[in-house]
A and B are shown apart, each in its own frame.
Chain A
Amino acid sequence: MNDCKSTSELLEFYVDSELDAVLTRAVSEHLESCVVCNRKMEALRLQNELIARAVKSVETDNRNLRASIEAATIARHQRLLEWSLPRIPAWTVATAAAILFISISFFLLPNLVDVVANPLFRAAAENHRMCGQQSEDTDWARTPQAIADVEESFVGHNKHAPITTEFQYQLVRARVCVLNGEKFLHLIYRNDDGNEASLFVRRNDSQPLDKDRNVTADGVNVQSSKLSDLYVAGIEVGPYVLITAAQTDVVSSRLLRSAVARFET
């Protein structure tokens, strides 16, 4: 191929490795003998390299995002599988399943997922359910200043929960509550439709999350569970334990992610 015009038309495909072997060889031969086309090709290649390098040079620390995605997908599924299908022969599983089927009443079956969750999560879910009925209680801090005061007295001066979160959820009230014998800061978020999500925070200086069921994702321990009608997710961030509860897994996991961004050191 001696024609510069024909070669020019193929240069982009050549640089992108989209030509078949015959055309690739023809273009290569022309490039060896033509300085002008060779410069064009080099300019294209350099431009490609620079774009790729520039885009890839942007900081991307995706550990929290990965943990959040795993919590909403694999981790939840993994815990269910580990509970129901341990690494033992299939016939043993089948026998155990048959015995369970006979011995457990149909009334208990819908609550199986509750067994999987750790007690702290169950307490968080229960507290979230109750907070709707207790929304008129007088011990809730409702103004931004009052909420900030409660936060500071409980978790310290330099950490604050997010004011707004995904899907227009706004922080509306806060108070101190007790989960499983431990004091937590309980923050309520509400959207325009009246749906509420809870964020529970405490300093991680006493009872840790259930270590046996933790899923380690790049050094971050994340748990999540579906408890009947609620999705609960939890994470340990430095000295803090954060737990969220909401009606959808997306709201729960995103609220958790927003909180992690505020509380991580």
Chain B
Amino acid sequence: MFSRLSRRQRDEFEAQALAHLDALVRSAMRLCRSREEAEDAVQETYLQAWRYWRSFQQGTNCRAWLFRILFNVIKKRATDKQTLVPIEETKVENLLRFDRSSSLDEFEMLEVFDQLSAEHREVMLLVVVEEMSYKDAAHALEVPMGTVMSRLNRARTQLRQRLGRANRRPLISNQNEQKFLK
């Protein structure tokens, strides 16, 4: 399965596509059950991107295109394996993969963030974390711009509500806190 790409196309792939590896991984980690699943999804994303690199129109938004492939890969895997992410499992994973230098505020936010629905997490990752425009986010999600706006609004509302609830109870159990703080 050799892609017949020219040296120039190969260089463009390296410079434009691989530059977004970190962004794709951190987004995939917020949508998958484990880091391993996230890395698999990202690897499959890049294999597909490589296969169709010739059809990618230079000058258009490569990052949005990659995210579009990534989200489709994750959705397809979830459908194939019936492994939609149970909320409780993501919490444990997050505890393990959270950077120990981070503050508990960030940890709490991450935990609440992971409780949002997948489509709300997707739009927040694109617009808030990756700072994409609504137009590019709409392209990545394959939805109209109006849908991006409404999803974003609902996601923010839910996040506010959940954070409000979270502030009234301890977010981290003692056992998990110990694991996190070790």
Contact = CB atoms under 8 A, between A and B. Distances in A.
Interface stretch (B23-31, B84-92, B169-177): B23-31
Interface string B86-115: 000000001001110110011101100100
30 contacts: A12-B152, A12-B156, A44-B156, A47-B156, A47-B160, A50-B109, A51-B109, A51-B124, A52-B129, A54-B109, A55-B26, A55-B110, A57-B99, A57-B102, A58-B29, A58-B97, A58-B98, A58-B110, A62-B25, A65-B39, A66-B18, A68-B43, A73-B47, A77-B5, A78-B10, A80-B2, A81-B10, A226-B2, A249-B47, A250-B47
A69 interface: yes
Interface residues of B, number: 50
Contact of B99 (A58, A62, A68, A226): A58
Interface in B50-105: 50, 94, 97-99, 101-102, 105
Contact of A65 (B14, B25, B98): B25
B133 interface: yes
Contact of A254 (B43, B105, B129, B153): B43
Interface in A55-103: 55-60, 62, 65-66, 68-70, 72-74, 76-78, 80-81, 85
A229 B99 CA distance: 43
A66 B107 CA distance: 27
B160 to A, nearest CB: 7
Contacts of B50: 72-74
Interface in B16-51: 18, 21-22, 25-27, 29-30, 39-40, 42-44, 46-47, 50
A137 interface: no
B140 to A, nearest CB: 15
A177 B97 CA distance: 39
Interface string A1-31: 0000000000011001110000000000000
A152 interface: no
B182 interface: no
Interface of B: 1-3, 5, 7, 10, 13-14, 18, 21-22, 25-27, 29-30, 39-40, 42-44, 46-47, 50, 94, 97-99, 101-102, 105-107, 109-110, 113, 124-125, 127-129, 131, 133-134, 149, 152-153, 156, 159-160
Contacts, number: 121
A265 to B, nearest CB: 19
Contact of A77 (B10, B44, B113): B10
A264 interface: no
A20 B25 CA distance: 32
A149 interface: no
Nearest to A253: B43
Contacts of A65: 21, 25, 39, 42-43
Nearest to B108: A54
Contacts of B128: 48, 51-52
A232 to B, nearest CB: 14
Contacts of A80: 2
Contacts of A254: 40, 43
Contacts of A50: 105-106, 109
B26 A58 contact: yes
Interface string A233-261: 00000000000000001100110010000
Nearest to A87: B7
Contacts of B97: 58-59
A113 B3 CA distance: 14
Contact of A53 (B29, B106, B159): B106
A139 interface: no
A56 B26 contact: yes
A16 B46 CA distance: 29
Contacts of B107: 54
A51 B7 contact: no
